[in-house]
Amino acid sequence: MNVRRIEVQTNPPYAVHVGPSALKGVLEVGSQESGIFVLADEKAWSLHSGALAGLESAPRLEIAGGEGAKSMAQLEGVLDALTQSGLSRTSTLITFGGGSISDLGGLAASLFKRGMDVVHCPTTLLAQVDAAIGGKTAINLRLGKNLAGSIHQPRSVFADSEVLRTLPDEEWASGLGEALKTALLGGEDSLSSLEAQSSELAHPGSVAISALVADCVQTKARIVAEDPLEQGPRRVLNLGHTFAHAIEHCAGYGTVPHGVAVSVGISLALEASAAMSVLEDVGLPDRVRKLQEALGLPSSLAELRGLHDLGPEGLRAGLAQDKKGAVGQPEFVLVRSPGDLVLGIGMEDSLLQSLLG
Ligand code: GLY
């Protein structure tokens, strides 16, 4: 696949460049005169800095990726480094890493001198299909994940499939979990095309990946353009996430990869959709379970419980942390059929008990 350009119609609009060697386009950003700064995941930089050849001499901060990057101390470190490098609000911050790096860098860019441009170069599958698109930024607070953040749309995004070749299996699976969610939101065509490619896509580094990333970006771009500030329809992107965050909270953040938790969260949301008589496409749970199996993703809490401590009480405590609903009132996204979702649903205690039991 050649590099595809997908527009996100926010105000102003921006382009997401998807495909092999998409990172060559970043050099254009680097040639601008008002200064650039690179915030890089140290591992991604050591493996793939060659893809950003021409930007080696720009001021750069390398940090470890993962949840540890999303802290107040790291945010201060980035803001200090921007200041020490003499950058201004007309300069551009380029992030190079997974979702934690784009979350941290995006937040720093939204705060530095009241806002500078950010360009994301996502190096994980999860960041290419979700985190780097749509402008959400965040760090974690002592009391919970993603509790401090902003919405700051990037100026452009470069999702290069070449950098995905070195992803560990676990990171690959995590990205496939978010891609499964996005295919369900995209509708029948997206879901069928993921099914058709599933055995090929299960292998890290698959050549079919650029087409999947492009399909996910297109779906997310449509949803974000409709509701950039997440005041309503954008909340469909939280499908599976209320359960997933409870799983991650209970197991300890960073223990269960986010997209893997989302995969189980999708199964629980489908089960709840059936139990609450919302689900119209009754064959969908079985179809999704087969797809999860083909992609190497778990479809039940039982599969995760062999590896992680996920007792019902701990999961309930995790649900109470949900930042999407009113305090202590978790909200869920339910499914009627592919592409047809229902938002803002609360659940009876008895149903939660049987789902998490
Ligand atoms: N990751 C969900 C969103 O961008 O809204």
- Centre of ligand 1 to C-alpha 238, Å, is 7
Residue 246 reports pLDDT greater than 80: yes
List the residue whose alpha carbon is closest to atom 2 of ligand 1.
237
State phi, psi for 306 to the nearest 5 degrees.
-65, -25
Q: What value does the CA radius of gyration of the chain take, rounded to a whole number of Å?
A: 19
Q: Answer whether 250's CB lies under 8 Å from 284's CB.
A: no
Type of residue numbered 42: E
Residue 180 reports pLDDT greater than 60: yes
- Centre of ligand 1 to C-alpha 159, Å, is 17
pLDDT tens track for 79-110: 999 999 999 999 999 999 999 999 999 999 99
Query: What integer pLDDT is reported at residue 120 of this predicted model?
Result: 98
Tell me the C-alpha distance between 338 and 353, whole Å: 26
State phi, psi for 188 to the nearest 5 degrees.
-60, -45
The whole-model pTM stands at 0.95
Q: Which residues contact 56 (CB under 8 A, 6 or more apart)?
A: 49
Residue 68 reports pLDDT greater than 70: yes
Atom of ligand 1 nearest to the CA of 135: 4
List the residue whose alpha carbon is closest to atom 5 of ligand 1.
237
Please state the domain extents for the chain: 4-166, 229-356
- Centre of ligand 1 to C-alpha 130, Å, is 7
- pLDDT category at 240 given cuts 50, 70, 90 is very high
The SS3 call for residue 140 is: strand
- Centre of ligand 1 to C-alpha 351, Å, is 26
Tell me the C-alpha distance between 286 and 172, whole Å: 23
The SS3 call for residue 16 is: strand
Tell me the C-alpha distance between 124 and 308, whole Å: 24
State phi, psi for 5 to the nearest 5 degrees.
-110, 120
pLDDT tens track for 150-174: 999 999 999 999 999 999 999 999 9
Q: Does the beta carbon of 234 lie inside 6 Å of ligand 1?
A: yes
Query: What integer pLDDT is reported at residue 33 of this predicted model?
Result: 65
Pocket test for ligand 1, best of 103, 180, 220, 331 (most atoms within 8 A of CB): 220
Could you tell me which CATH number the domain at 229-356 has?
Answer: 1.20.1090.10
* Rounded mean pLDDT, 208-226: 98
Q: Does the beta carbon of 130 lie inside 6 Å of ligand 1?
A: yes
Residue 327 reports pLDDT greater than 60: no
Using CA atoms, how far residue 310 sits from 151, 303, 306, in Å, is 32, 11, 9
Query: What integer pLDDT is reported at residue 323 of this predicted model?
Result: 63
CATH class of the domain comprising 4-166? alpha beta
Atom of ligand 1 nearest to the CA of 234: 5
